[in-house]
Amino acid sequence: MTEKINLSKEERAKNHEERLKKRRDEIDAQLKKIEAVANEKAKKIALNRSFIVGEAVIDHATNDKEFAEMLRDILKESVTKKRDRDAIADLINDSSIDKEQPITQEQSSSEKESSSSTSDVSDSSQDEENSTSKSVDTEAPIET
């Protein structure tokens, strides 16, 4: 008779353990959703900040020739990917400043290596930037 009671207790314990594991899995899934939402909000905030700062910097460069030259030098040195350089060509090129330095063979090959490993990420982030840039209002922060 004690054997029957023990089996029943073991079965109950096993069932309880299974229910707890299932609940843990549900909680883990909820936590992943919460983290994804938080990460998305952080990305939107960072993107919004970038637009605001970028607009302020470009506006300042429009009104201050010395600052424009410093910005041009920074961009020439920092922006190495061809598609990025093409996107800001008007900020890099100026007839009053030396023409942009061509991208060297070494930079080009290292760009190919880095872009092949991150092409999916940069394409999706570029798509996100394109879709977000149309709706970003630099006067008011994005609502979160």
Q: Are residues 48 and 75 in the same domain?
A: no
Which CB contacts under 8 angstroms, 24+ apart, belong to 95-104? 97/69, 97/72, 100/76, 101/76
11 in the same domain as 1: yes
CB 92 within 8 A of CB 76: yes
Asked whether residue 8 falls in the same domain as residue 59, the answer is yes
**Residue 103's domain spans which residues?**
65-118
- pLDDT digits over 12-50, tens only? 999 999 999 999 999 999 999 999 999 999 999 999 999
Q: Is residue 39 part of a domain?
A: yes
Report pLDDT for 8.
85
Mean pLDDT value of segment 66-71: 95
Residues 80-107 pLDDT 10s: 999 999 999 998 886 333 333 444 444 4
Looking at the structure, do residues 77 and 56 belong to the same domain, yes or no?
Answer: no
